[in-house]
């Protein structure tokens, strides 16, 4: 852990990691995590581990150590899907999660795609891509008066919802259930809650 440092938190994380090695180091996971963690004064609820090819520690100063060095850090359960690809795990760990910040807030796992004919904004990828929660929360209100526009988002459990504008906001599930009308304030609360499920 870099930056602000808490010896108490570091000890708690390492002790928990040692006790939960089986959960943390599941084969095929590039970002492992074990739930049930807590530390006084902190909101973290899991300890996570990034495998060497994701963490890339020591690659500049001592590259021989890189393949044997795992990064262990306190985290939030909403930050991990458990089936991240190597590319997704690298992006989450290296660019989205400030793992060295012991005072950080959760960065929920989120994939989204969108199209807004009114603003001209939209996704360039063919499917849903990793995104920050603030982008999702910014794009939903911009759908107002944009018929045909949509925002689609997926949480860590792989559940998908679609928001559309048709003289009001409509929310539907990928499962095919009919979209229901919803007020913007309620919709934004729903989105935040689903990303923290």
Q: Is residue 82 part of a domain?
A: yes
Which pLDDT tens digits describe the chain residue by residue (197 residues)? Answer: 445 778 999 999 999 999 999 999 988 899 999 999 999 989 999 999 999 999 988 888 888 888 889 999 999 999 999 999 999 999 999 999 999 999 999 999 999 999 999 999 998 888 999 999 999 999 999 999 999 999 999 999 999 999 999 999 999 997 777 899 999 999 999 999 999 99
3-class SS at 97?
coil
Please give the pLDDT value at position 80.
97
* Residues 129, 88 share a domain: no
* Residues 181, 126 share a domain: yes
* Residues 183, 149 share a domain: yes
Please give the pLDDT value at position 1.
40
Please give the pLDDT value at position 3.
53
Q: Is residue 168 part of a domain?
A: yes
Of 96, 122, 145, which residue sits at a domain end?
96
* Residues 124, 91 share a domain: no
* Residues 91, 15 share a domain: yes
Total domains in the chain come to 2
* DSSP string covering 125-170: SSS-EE--HHHHHHHTGGGTT-TT-EEEEE-TT--EEEEEESSSEE
Residue 46 sits at φ, ψ, to 5 deg, of: -140, 160
Q: Is residue 1 part of a domain?
A: no
Name the nearest CA neighbour of 5 among 101, 98, 77, 94.
101
- Measured at the CA of 145, the angle between CA 159 and CA 140, to 5 degrees, comes to 30
- Residue-range definition of the domain harbouring residue 158: 111-195
* Residues 92, 25 share a domain: yes
Overall pTM > 0.75: yes
């Amino acid at each position: 852990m870099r930056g602000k440092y808490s010896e108490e938190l570091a000890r708690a994380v390492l002790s928990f990691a040692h006790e939960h090695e089986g959960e943390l180091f599941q084969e095929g996971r590039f970002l492992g995590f074990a739930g049930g963690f807590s530390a006084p004064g902190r909101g973290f609820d899991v300890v996570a581990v990034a495998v060497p090819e994701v963490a890339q520690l020591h690659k500049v100063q001592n590259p021989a150590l890189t393949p044997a060095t795992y990064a262990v850090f306190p985290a939030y359960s909403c930050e991990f899907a458990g089936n991240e690809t190597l590319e997704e795990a690298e992006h989450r760990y290296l660019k989205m999660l400030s793992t060295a910040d012991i005072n950080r807030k959760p960065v929920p796992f989120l994939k989204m795609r969108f199209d807004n004919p009114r603003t001209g904004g939209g996704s360039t990828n063919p499917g849903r891509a990793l995104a920050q929660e603030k982008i999702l929360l910014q794009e939903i209100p911009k759908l107002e008066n944009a018929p045909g526009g949509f925002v689609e988002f997926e949480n860590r459990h792989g559940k998908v919802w679609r928001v559309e504008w048709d003289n009001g906001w409509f929310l539907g599930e990928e499962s095919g259930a009919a979209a229901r009308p919803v007020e913007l304030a309620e919709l934004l609360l729903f989105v935040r809650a689903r990303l923290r499920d």
